[in-house]
Amino acid sequence: MSLLRKAGVGLLLALTSLAASALDHTHREWGTLLSRHVELAPDGKSSRVDYRGMAGDHVQLRSYLKSLSDVTESEYGQWPKAQRLAFLINAYNAWTVELVLSKYPDLKSIKDIGTLFQSPWKKKFIPLFGREVALDTIEHDMIRAPGAFDDPRIHTAVVCASIGCPMLRPDAFVADRLDEQLEDGMRRFLGDASRNRFDPATGKLMVSSIFDWYGADFEQGHQGFDSLQSTFARYADQLASAPSDRARIRQGNYRMVFLDYDWRLNDSARPRKP
């Protein structure tokens, strides 16, 4: 084979590989599905998912998931940090929806998908970087890996398909808005009185169990978070409306209580509490 022909074949293979693995970093397909099937509460601080509608758009969801699976680990490693984190958050949330759809509509909680020996988050069903991984792999081994991203705000971004979870956003995470989206997620979650609230009569600051399970992530000094107390002080305006109550939260003048987690499916077909 001549050098010219070899060069041409090499170029063709390179272009074919690039075309096969090129990812739309706007995550347009996923964003379209979210805008179509995520329903915000009137106060904008929580959401429900129209899983029946998602099932009707299953072809589009699987097309998006394939675009994620087509990304190679070496390609991923060359992206800027914000692009990598947006990719992983969207991947976690989209594959969580896919997992729910595998058993929908006969599903009351994502935990029902698990077994006595394996939780749904340890189920290896996700083709990513050339191997089968679990949701836990994405969250704990990739997103929360020490030194990878070090941003505790991800705990209001990855969503476990439950009412107790932070809201699934009606838009995809994207690199150029990632910091804004993560901060917005924290503000909305901590402003939702069904999951985080201050009771001035008892002096209790009642917060989600997420802060119990992952409290250490908020104590490492990353992104300015060095303790749970300073975290709640930072979002005092979201946790209370009265200036005196906000002052108490900023001063740490409260007793922290972790609320029970609501594992019911965040399905829009389920009536909201009045």
Residue 118: pLDDT band with limits 50, 70, 90: confident
**Helix, coil or strand: residue 157:** coil
Condensed to tens digits (0 to 9), the pLDDT of residues 11-29 reads 444 444 444 458 999 999 9
Predicted pLDDT at 271: 63
- Claim to verify: residue 33 and residue 44 sit in the same structural domain: yes
- Claim to verify: residue 180 and residue 97 sit in the same structural domain: yes
By the 8 A CB rule, do 149 and 142 touch?
no
Within a domain: 164 = yes
Q: How many CB atoms are located within 10 Å of the residue 3 CB?
A: 7
User: Which among 131, 261, 247 is positioned nearest to 196, based on CA atoms?
Assistant: 261
By the 8 A CB rule, do 160 and 261 touch?
no
Predicted pLDDT at 272: 56
- Claim to verify: residue 86 and residue 160 sit in the same structural domain: yes
- Claim to verify: residue 25 and residue 161 sit in the same structural domain: yes
User: Which among 194, 265, 274, 195 is positioned nearest to 49, based on CA atoms?
Assistant: 265
Within a domain: 1 = no
CA 11 – CA 163 distance, rounded (Å):
50
By the 8 A CB rule, do 236 and 18 touch?
no
| Average confidence score pLDDT of the chain | 92
Task: Burial-class residue 252 by CB neighbours within 10 Å (0-12, 13-18, 19+).
Answer: middle
**DSSP run (H or E) holding 46:** none
Domain extent at residue 213 = 196-258
Condensed to tens digits (0 to 9), the pLDDT of residues 73-104 reads 999 999 999 999 999 999 999 999 999 999 99
Task: Burial-class residue 271 by CB neighbours within 10 Å (0-12, 13-18, 19+).
Answer: exposed
pLDDT beyond 60 at 126: yes
Domain count for the chain: 2
The model's pTM is 0.91
